Structures are given as structure tokens and as C-alpha cells.
Amino acid sequence: MDKFLTIDYLLHGTTLQQAAYHLLKGNCILETLAPYSPVLAGTIPLNTVIEGSDLDILCQYTTAESFIESVTVAFSHYKGFNIRMAIINGTDSVICNCFINDFEIEIFGQAVPVTAQYGYRHMVIEYQILLEKGEAFRQQIIALKQQGYKTEPAFAMLLNLAGNPYEALLRYF
């Protein structure tokens, strides 16, 4: 969904979405990550934020080593900087966390185009569901998240999707 490929939509959103826009722009975060096709994903674009929600930035790298080096140079001076490798959905992934001002940032990279990554695909589907189901449904998602559910399991529960919630959401439409 082209809407999410830039962050301009945040300027017309909630106070928190506008603050996220200004943080990302003011600190040149997406410009710094530009070689990796960064896209903001997750709860802030969807407005399903709870206390502790972070800014998730998805990236595509060519090699994990060069991505780790680049991200470390750019972000290691921020509070709480941490970077690690993991295998997510069978794919090598790099996950970096740090705090910039009052926002926790998670930079997630894979050697997979951002629009093909699970995080992006889930966000687009969840956005379509939220448009279809409305505000009361969004509030139910937030309530489940406040009870400790992750976003995808919360959606799956309310939609009565069987099996792995991450896979079931991808088959919803």
C-alpha cells in the first residue's frame, strides 16, 4: 500500500503520529537509513498504540555485516543502543533498538524487500481490517494489547482466525 511508503500521512494523524513524524524528520533517521529502503511499520502508523509501543522501521539490506556496521555507526551513540542477529520466519534478520528522545526505535533489517517482509504485509492487512471494522474494533485491539497480547494475535482472536496468527492474518483477504 503506497500510503505507508513515506511518512507524510503522519502529519495529518494523531498527536503521537505527528510527534513521530517530527522525531524521524528532525533526526534524519529515514534519510540515514535511505540506502536500505526504510519504511515505518507497526502500531504507530495503525494508531493501535499502547504504553511502551515503539517506532518500527523496516529495512532491506544486501549483507547483514554492512547493515550492522552502518546502523552501529549511525545509532550507537543513542541511549540503550543494542543490535543483534536473529532468524525470523526462517530469514536472517538484524534488529537494532535504541531510544531517541522519548521514543524507542526498532530498526529491523532483512535481505528481503520491505514490502515483502511480514511486518509490512501484516500492517497493510491490519490497516484494511481496521478500515473495514471501524473504531470499536480498533479499541478492542488496543484493549487486548493492554492485556499483553501482541498485535497479530489480538487481530486473530477478534477475527476468530485459527492456527498461527501471523500466518492466518496473511491469508485473511
According to the model, what pLDDT value does residue 1 have? 60
Report the alpha-carbon distance of residue 127 to residue 1 in Å, rounded: 10
For residues 164-169, average pLDDT: 94
CATH number for 119: 3.30.460.10
Domain of 99, in residue numbers = 2-170
Listed residue (132, 108, 125) closest to 167, CA to CA: 125
Report the alpha-carbon distance of residue 62 to residue 85 in Å, rounded: 15
Alpha helices in the chain (DSSP H): 15-26, 29-32, 43-46, 64-75, 118-133, 135-146, 151-159, 165-170
At position 155, the amino acid (one-letter code) is: F
Tens of pLDDT, residues 13-42:
999 999 999 999 999 999 999 999 999 999
Domains held by the chain: number: 1
Tens of pLDDT, residues 54-80:
999 999 999 999 999 999 999 999 999
Residue 89 reports pLDDT greater than 90: no
Tens of pLDDT, residues 110-138:
999 999 999 999 999 999 999 999 999 99
